[in-house]
Structure 1
């Protein structure tokens, strides 16, 4: 039953989207997830039961549709016209947060497996190598994790279990710093210079690795936030004039 307190489109919109998880479910669909397990891998802290409930609610409200699947295969979820029309709002929410309230990750924010999954979601198809390339990702520090990126244009997949094949590239990195890089808070070159990333493998492949990913989604908003902080610090440090 409706729970909005007054006859207002904002109230109804909050009723549909105003819980912790629903906008994040839409985010996963926005970046290409379709199957239930795929969506859940992007939201590992959300229970599968709750995800099923949110998907049913979104379908009921007409924001997503579920395509029937072949026997023995999972159904596929896609955004409807109504769901696609709300994606600018979800992006705008992220841009606002990046500019005004986002900060460096705390220990509890660092989740290495989620980060590796985000790498795969941020892969730019046309930048990936044509020849199959296996990348061993080793993340250290809070959120430490290990997985493999199986790369061959136009796709990148994530393997949690050792594929028992020779890897072409090994990337050992601090999980916190890789989170910062992927969100556009720090350049990749700075991570190399500070030793937060070490790459072992053929030099051309090592140089190409960071170019496979789009790290610009929130970069402009984060840069505005940094400029504002720098200006505030300068103003505070400036001597008073009389």
Structure 2
């Protein structure tokens, strides 16, 4: 889209404000480089549209395309200073996600990317999630090691660090910062089973996301 204005905001919006473009840049900033991995983070976009958006970003000097991979340029990486405050603004001022917007694959993918692998045990373990309702499989695992943190709906046959029974909304609520972990545990919207250290490990490993709404205003503010 062309705004035909001299304003830098208008010029920038011509590049990054088209549907899906900001989410594609978000995936690149989170370390996705292959086209397949980017597509996994924005499953609503077709392959053709994803390719067109990446080519436009390349023309604008934000991305370098190599076969089936994409890398941000210096100009593209600088968009972190735009995307991250936008995410925090959305968490602070917009309502929590609707139930229909929650997808276990995307939620656990985001959680896995935020885990500090240095805090994980030396040997690989798994967290078993049992969602009382979800789109698709209700049983998921997070495979955790110092080399990898990734979700799967196939039993990885690893030692189980804990089991977490919850709804998608409850897990999204604590990770996005709309609900405190301890409150969710007290009201049993999240139930953690396992060794005595399981609750502490869950809070340390999963924690809260980068756009956590912990400072969100109350309805009366």
| TM-score, length basis structure 1 | 0.81
2:197 aligns to what?
Answer: 204
2:121 aligns to what?
Answer: 129
Are 2:46 and 1:47 aligned? yes
2:64 aligns to what?
Answer: 65
> Pairwise mapping of residues 45-194 of structure 1 onto structure 2 (< 5 A)?
45-67=44-66, 75-100=68-93, 102-143=94-135, 145-165=138-158, 167-194=160-187
Change in Cα spacing, 1:191 to 1:43, as seen in structure 2 (3 Å) is same
Secondary structure of the structure 1 residue equivalent to 2:191 = strand
Q: CA deviation at 1:175?
A: 0.3
Tell me the distance in 2 between the aligned counterparts of 1:150 and 1:189.
24
Q: CA deviation at 1:116?
A: 1.1
Tell me the distance in 1 between the aligned counterparts of 2:158 and 2:78.
43
Secondary structure of the structure 1 residue equivalent to 2:90 = helix
Unaligned runs of 5+ in 1: 69-74, 232-242
Unaligned runs of 5+ in 2: none
Q: Is the 8 A contact 2:120 2:205 kept in 1?
A: yes
| TM-score, length basis structure 2 | 0.88
Secondary structure of the structure 1 residue equivalent to 2:58 = helix
Q: Would you tell me which structure has more helix in proportion to its own residues?
A: 1
Q: Is the 8 A contact 2:192 2:198 kept in 1?
A: no
Change in Cα spacing, 1:208 to 1:165, as seen in structure 2 (3 Å) is closer
- The alignment covers a number of residue pairs equal to 220
